[in-house]
Amino acid sequence: MEIKYVSTTCPYCGTGCGFNLVVRDGKVFDVAHWQRAPVNGGKLCPKGRYAHEFINSPDRLTKPLIKKDGGFVEATWDEAYDLIAEKIGSYKPDEVACLSSARTSNEENYLMQKFARVVLKTPHIDHCARLCHASTVAGLAAVFGSGAMTNSITDIAESKCVFVLGSNTFEQHPLIARSIIRAREGGGKVIVADPRLTPTAKQADLYMPFISGTDVAILNGLMQEIIRNGREDKEFIASRTKDFENLKEVVMKDDYSLENVSKTSGIPVESLRTAAEWIATADVATLIYSMGITQHTVGVDNVKSTANLMMLTGNMGRPGGGVNPLRGQNNVQGACDMGALPNVFSGYQKVTDEAAQKKMKEMWGVDELAEGRVGYTVTEMVNVLADESGKLKAMYIMGENPMLSDPDLHHVEEGLKNLEFLVVQDIFLTETGNFADVVLPAACYAEKDGTQTNTERRVQRWKKAQDPPGEAKEDWKIICELGSKMGYPEQFAFESPEAIFNEVAAVTPSYHGMSYARLDPDGLHWPCPTEEHPGTPILHRERFAMPDGLGVFSPIEWKPPAEVPDAEYPYVLTTGRTLWQWHTGTMTRRSWSLEKEAPIGWIEINPEDAKELGIEDEEVVRASTRRGSVEIPARVTPEIIKGVMFIPFHYKEHPANRLTHNALDPVAKIPEYKACAVKVEKITEEA
């Protein structure tokens, strides 16, 4: 019996922890700590600790499946490839769309966008960043010139004031939460604002519960209070920023006095005052945010407001400071970096830029690339499918499960049904896979080499620990074989992920200086422009990534969510996650150690609201919005503010997304998962 330890990077969240996969007789059977892992120093959260449990699940897809007479039959790879090439090849470029995957490697994302652009010649390529941090990418790029986390994870520990807004860091990025604890141990204050008293909020020195969707009002209020007390960083504002007067004009309005903000948000004036004081007077303060900020019709406004606050207080470009959006999926940063987006090639080179187009055409040896048109986003694809039937005819979805993760599932279902041809490539047969004409079995993270980029822009290795089950193949191999079959053998002639990475480095300025040899063992932070460059853990030290080097203040007015409570739907519904489950549950619900901790969904209801509704704890209730209803057990708890209710979106038995609203931010096209209007009723016998 041979036991082998293979060090790799976690397939769950964007923290990017390292661990060892323990392999016996060619099969992974455990996870062991990898003491020198750069991000986490051997520590793991439960998902990382049990990241081996789903790998050898009997449910893994092992053969290509083709739909015949409404059911799936097993097929050979050649049959599947032939059918895909024939079908997808028969549509016009604009009739086909691709979804790439933040669960797969950089190499695989790079190939997926290359496949869309080179083989299908379609501009329609996107992935779940749209549902997640699209507003960060757009908002921070407009303010700082770069849409990523500005500081590193360890750096947070040096902060003297950590302001957590709309991030449940202790459950969703547990190993980043350790840095918050370290900051506190070093004398730093922690402020958490969240509609729910989350495990993160319980660690706070100051907790501010508030009504979902009032973030801009809160941030403007804090800024007004800081300016009123003369606590803005005048020197930083003068030397590093522009348009301060525009900001001032808005935030100084009476609407954003602490009294008025308190009425809008539900936060007591005293708490707001204390928060403003702590943020402005700390030696260095950092702001951490995630989905509570981004998933709104005002997602971009929210993001810009966080940047306003941190520029106002001079906290940018310094250790322990910055604006830190915590990226979600293990490789969502990388999927964006690789250009699996409808408007950019890898490294955020705009598809509309002629020089970038010319460069990519030369690199890829083609003379056409959808001629610089910007394609549909994930959310637009679904809208076009559902509402403009016939415009999009086929889709190729790799490693996403929109039939549970997209907003307004009824609408998604309508859209998927309108497709003439759907390919789904996954490690399990998903809710989305059920709609497919062809299902392709993919290898999971433990079965392939590659790289992924974590939330602090650190590019790290994945290392193969076992063979894929049955005939499943690595995503990169599948795309290469299909690309070759569909007429582009030279463009997809890669023997290994390393060869793909070398092409990535060649065409992507921020990755130019990287190679597999350099990534071992600690990875490198982009930008890393040359082979000698050590990488860049902290952005914007001397100047922002703008042509004039200055950060831009944006005057932002508060706007309520697209759908607000009324007499019929009197509460705000917000949605999110729990520590034990991951999104649509394909992996965590097949991991016994995780599933046993949180096997069913729930709706969180404040005791006062429950009393008015006559609802008891654990009672199954009906929650309805204008989109649909679910029956779901109530969790009556003071840990959610009155007037707001919360459902985690992991559970197919009562899908939160049957309720959510498909209203989009106008710039980022991200849906408003964090606020819509809901009613909750007792389920009566006769109904």
The residues binding ligand MGD (CB under 6 A) are 13, 47, 101, 103-104, 128, 131-132, 165-168, 171-173, 194-196, 198, 212-213, 215, 290-293, 295, 328-329, 398-402, 405, 425-428, 430, 442, 444-445, 475, 574-577, 579, 581-584, 586-587, 646, 649, 656-657, 660, 673-675
Half-sphere exposure of 569 (CA within 13 A, CB side): 20
Task: Provide the mask over 309-348, with x wherever binding to Mo ion is found by CB under 5 A and - wherever it is not.
Answer: -------------------x--------------------
Q: Residue 120 corresponds to which amino acid? A: L
Is 514 one of the binding residues for ligand SF4 (CB under 6 A)? no
**Of these, 23, 31, 44, 640, which contacts ligand SF4 (CB under 6 A)?**
44
Which two tokens mark 679?
């009613």
Check: CB of residue 348 under 8 Å from CB of residue 457.
Answer: no
Q: Which does 441 bind (CB under 5 to 8 A by kind): ligand SF4, ligand MGD, Mo ion, none?
A: none
Is 17 one of the binding residues for ligand SF4 (CB under 6 A)? yes
State the alpha helices, DSSP H only, in 394-488.
402-405, 409-417, 475-485
CA nearest 60: which of 426, 525, 534? 426
**Of these, 13, 99, 120, 636, which contacts ligand SF4 (CB under 6 A)?**
13
Q: Residue 62 corresponds to which amino acid? A: T
Is 48 one of the binding residues for ligand SF4 (CB under 6 A)? yes
Is 311 one of the binding residues for ligand SF4 (CB under 6 A)? no
Choices 56-64, 127-135, 345-353, 628-636 (CB under 5 A): range interacting with Mo ion: 127-135
Q: For helices 215-228 and 269-281, what crossing angle results, to 10°?
A: 60
Is 162 one of the binding residues for ligand SF4 (CB under 6 A)? no
Q: Residue 603 corresponds to which amino acid? A: I
- Euclidean distance between CA atoms 439 and 235, whole angstroms: 58
CA nearest 473: which of 140, 180, 77? 77
Q: Which does 215 bind (CB under 5 to 8 A by kind): ligand SF4, Mo ion, ligand MGD, none?
A: ligand MGD
Cβ of residue 102: shortest distance to Mo ion, in angstroms? 7
**Of these, 175, 247, 409, 605, which contacts ligand SF4 (CB under 6 A)?**
175
Choices 125-133, 185-193, 346-354, 431-439 (CB under 5 A): range interacting with Mo ion: 125-133
Cβ of residue 596: shortest distance to ligand MGD, in angstroms? 15
Q: Which does 576 bind (CB under 5 to 8 A by kind): ligand MGD, ligand SF4, Mo ion, none?
A: ligand MGD
Which residue is associated with the tokens 């928060």?
275
Q: Residue 589 corresponds to which amino acid? A: R
Residues 6+ positions from 440 with CB-CB distance below 8 Å? 61, 64, 80, 423, 424, 425, 426, 473, 478
Phi-psi region of 338 (alpha: psi -120 to 50; beta: other; left: phi over 0): alpha
Is 174 one of the binding residues for ligand SF4 (CB under 6 A)? yes
Is 10 one of the binding residues for ligand SF4 (CB under 6 A)? yes
Applying CB under 6 A, the site for ligand SF4 has a residue count of 14
Residues 6+ positions from 439 with CB-CB distance below 8 Å? 61, 64, 65, 72, 423, 424, 425, 426, 429, 433
Residues 6+ positions from 84 with CB-CB distance below 8 Å? 396, 423, 438, 482
Which CB atom, from 303 or from 311, has the smaller least distance to ligand MGD? 303
Is 132 one of the binding residues for Mo ion (CB under 5 A)? yes
Q: Which does 48 bind (CB under 5 to 8 A by kind): ligand MGD, Mo ion, ligand SF4, none?
A: ligand SF4
Task: Provide the mask over 120-159, with x wherever binding to ligand SF4 is found by CB under 6 A and - wherever it is not.
Answer: ----------------------------------------
Cβ of residue 238: shortest distance to ligand MGD, in angstroms? 30
Do β-strands 3-9 and 18-24 pair in parallel, antiparallel, or remain unpaired?
Answer: antiparallel
Check: CB of residue 454 under 8 Å from CB of residue 333.
Answer: yes
Q: Which residues bind ligand SF4 (CB under 6 A)?
A: 10, 12-13, 15-17, 40, 44-45, 47-48, 173-175
